[in-house]
Structure 1
């Protein structure tokens, strides 16, 4: 594989991943605000009840993690449909278990 293809892959996956993560964070925040009527809590603030902090951390983690998974699969499929072979690099979610 040519070096330019690897660079193109990193730029493509990076831009799509960054935009997707930002949108996912905004959506999770808006859903929280719509369902609770409050701004999302700061989980590190000792004045925030532990239950509320845990619920926010779980909701935001699930929202962003599922979005990253969907984005990774979408980007790989688009790459294969455009270049007729697998991408030169793997995508890694930050939330791998």
Structure 2
């Protein structure tokens, strides 16, 4: 039974995190285009990309995507806890 709830949580948290990351990437890309007037760097490691642009893109996109994933996982954990009456298996405090 605990194994089933662990699998449900794993799938639920993965789906919510991936969806949040996809939405965040679209938002970051749209904002980058609106702000700079050009496409974000496809590969920030490419030496032809200006260093300031590569660093800015990596910092902004990485931070916002990670933040969106974390917030989505927290929201999913709250939903799971309300539905089952307990925290997800990997978030329960050690006894």
TM class by shorter-chain length? 0.7 to 0.9
SS in 2 for 1:43: coil
**Structure 2 unaligned runs (5+)?**
none
Q: What is the rounded CA distance, in whole Å, between the counterparts of 1:68 and 1:16 in structure 2?
A: 8
Q: Which runs of 4+ in 1 moved over 6 A?
A: none
Deviation at 1:39, TM superposition (A): 0.2
Q: What is the TM-score of this pair, normalised by structure 2? A: 0.87
Q: Which residue of 2 aligns with 1:61?
A: 62
> 2:26 aligns to what?
26
- Structure 1: segments with no counterpart, 5+ residues: 91-97
Q: TM-score if structure 1 supplies the norm length? A: 0.85
* Offset, 1:84: 0.7
Higher helix share: 2
Query: Given the alignment of the two structures, is residue 73 of structure 1 paired with residue 74 of structure 2, yes or no?
Result: yes
Say how many residue pairs are matched: 90
Aligned counterpart, 2:48: 47
